[in-house]
Amino acid sequence: MLTGEELSPSDGFRLGLVNQITEPGQALDRALDMARQIIANSPVAVQQSLQAIDALTSANDELGWALTKKARDVINASEDAKEGVAAF
């Protein structure tokens, strides 16, 4: 991601950025299959799992956004950013 290069599906999978790889045109079908698997489970189990995931991820969400804003502010104020804008 830091290089700006595109990642292949397999690299995205290996890095944990995606959890499924499908053939072209099959993403919607696979997503629907996954949705069917989820709704076949206990609604309480699904709800509790989602709440646990939300609690784990949102605990650091505020910090993550604050750090992202700080990084963006530093980048936008940099000479590199000014040079990049001037190049166009």
Q: Is 51 helix (H, G, I), strand (E, B) or coil?
A: helix
Co-location of 35 and 56 in the same domain: no
Number of domain units in the chain? 2
Co-location of 33 and 56 in the same domain: no
Distance CA 77, CA 88 (A): 17
Co-location of 34 and 53 in the same domain: no
Co-location of 49 and 88 in the same domain: yes
Q: Give tens-digit pLDDT for 4-17.
A: 788 899 999 998 88
Residues of the chain by 3-state class (helix, strand, coil), percent to 5: 70, 0, 30
Distance CA 34, CA 39 (A): 9
Co-location of 85 and 51 in the same domain: yes
Co-location of 35 and 55 in the same domain: no
What one-character DSSP code corresponds to residue 17? S
Q: Give tens-digit pLDDT for 43-73.
A: 888 888 888 777 767 767 777 777 778 888 8
Q: pTM, whole model, 2 decimals? A: 0.54
Domain with 23 in it = 1-40
Co-location of 10 and 23 in the same domain: yes
